[in-house]
Structure 1
Amino acid sequence: MAVVLKEKFDDIKEQIEGIERSVNFISDEYDAMKTRLDTLEAGHKEYVRRFHEIASNSGEQKAAILEAKIDSMEQQARQCNIEVCNLPEKRNENLLTITESICSTINSPVSHNDIISVHRVPHARQQDTKPKNLIVKFRSRIIRDNVLSAYRNAKSIKSDQIGISGASVSVYLNEHLTLKNKALFREAKILAKKSGFKYVWVRNATILVRERDNDKSFAIRSVEDLNKIVASKKNGTNSAN
């Protein structure tokens, strides 16, 4: 009897040990599966995060590219224009005659047929007390370039030289830049002055900077390019393009 009971006990003990081994195996498998699942979840979260980051950056890049293209098209549409600044305003002024007088004064005469349109533009800020700028659109870019070249050769022009009464003031002729390029030009002049650069000018809607007379010039096409001015000054080099 005792032998039979011992055999049954051993059999039950073996079954229990087998169950324990199975439970431990299942537990180990569960832990391994949970670890893999946690890893997959973490990987999924990282993938989603990077996807949104890339999508967001892609959207910003596309918007920046589109904005640059639009600004380029706007600048292209102004290639036959000049902007006349600080020209005193008079009641009943004849802007066409004034434009012809300006061109004659700088030895680059034009006719009525050379001028497509001429008008003053409102100030960006209403509180601005300076005369409104004058926009002149010529029949061709060649005429525009000839006028600007003659103005640069003349170096300066005064209001009394073109028959405008009152106190004599300097009148300036510039390429007609977009608002974005105007802001960039303004920033470039400020930073160039701080950095000791002697020349900042615009040629064919491109902002150019030169530190000294015999140095090469380099172009400023974006805000990032402005940092080149400071960097080249600190490094004692000229980052010419």
Structure 2
Amino acid sequence: MPPKKYPAQAEEVDDIKRSLDMLTEEVSVVRQQQKTIMSLVEEVKALRLQNIEKDKRIMSLQNRLADLEQYTRMNDIILTGVEIKPRSYARAVATLNEGETNEQDVTSVEQQVMAFLHSTGIELDRDNIEACHTLPQRNKMDKPAIIIRFTNRKHKMELLKQGRRLKGTDVYLNEHLTKKNADIARKARLLRRQKKIQSTWTANCKIFIKTNGTPEQAKVQVIKDLEKYQ
């Protein structure tokens, strides 16, 4: 025979049952919320993976675009340190007003470049030049940089080999690098001065470095990023 319940005990039992029922409901709600949260977490993970893949594709496209931009400059040389005089004041004013160099001024720049290079003993066939003109200047007081575009890469390489004749002067012949590659080349030269690498140079618009170490350990590498050498 079950024990007899007194009114106070019965009320207490009822309270406990109601509490358990409420707790059960709350647990059910929490479990549902947990499922929702886990579902959202999985969705966030999937979105992150998608973003990583998109970032990789974007980086790949950016690199391809940078390579294409550099390829368009493969036949170019940048000549710096040579003073170029305008053909006449009137023509110079007309050029500034037009915002571009006309054919006669291009010829003038080309003639002055040819004359200067020949004066240093550098041989250059004018028929191998496709274009020759100054680049826009940030500081009008500086000597303008001059771009020399050749009909093919072989003639560009021939001129670069003769660049040693300019050693000891303030005139330089360099490949026409994109802003990105020029920045990498500048940082590589800084690393060389800091003795973090042995040497650096460019060839066919690619930046090369030779790492530190013994002759057996040192490696020649084409670089597109210098972070691990910083």
TM, length-normalised to structure 1 = 0.67
Q: For residue 57 of structure 1, what is the aligned residue in structure 2?
A: 52
Match of 1:77 among 72, 80, 84: 72
Q: CA separation in 2, counterparts of 1:133 and 1:147?
A: 16
**Structure 1 residues not aligned, in runs of 5+:** 1-5, 11-18, 159-168, 231-241
TM, length-normalised to structure 2 = 0.70
Q: Are the counterparts in 2 of residues 104 and 110 from structure 1 also a CA contact under 8 Å?
A: no
Q: CA separation in 2, counterparts of 1:118 and 1:127?
A: 20
Q: For residue 39 of structure 1, what is the aligned residue in structure 2?
A: 34
Q: Could you give the per-residue CA deviations for residues 180-239 of structure 1, whole angstroms, max 9, x where no partner exists?
A: 111111122123312354422111111112348954322221243xx23x4xxxxxxxxx
CA distance 1:104–1:63, shift in 2 (3 Å): farther
CA distance 1:196–1:118, shift in 2 (3 Å): same
Deviation at 1:129, TM superposition (A): 3.6
Q: Which structure has the greater CA radius of gyration?
A: 1
Report matched runs for 1:140-151 at 5 Å.
140-151=152-163
Q: For residue 219 of structure 2, what is the aligned residue in structure 1?
A: 216
Please identify, of 94-103 and 35-44, the stretch whose mean Cα deviation from structure 2 is larger: 94-103
Q: CA separation in 2, counterparts of 1:43 and 1:177?
A: 50
Q: Give the 3-state SS of the residue equivalent to 1:82 in structure 2.
A: strand
CA distance 1:37–1:72, shift in 2 (3 Å): same
Q: CA separation in 1, counterparts of 2:213 and 2:152?
A: 34
Q: Could you give the per-residue CA deviations for residues 57-110 of structure 1, whole angstroms, max 9, x where no partner exists?
A: 344333322221111101111111111112223232822223434268454431
Root-mean-square deviation (CA), in Å?
A: 3.6
Report matched runs for 1:195-210 at 5 Å.
195-210=195-210
Match of 1:68 among 58, 63, 66: 63
Match of 1:91 among 83, 86, 90: 86
Aligned length: 202
Q: Are the counterparts in 2 of residues 108 and 146 from structure 1 also a CA contact under 8 Å?
A: no
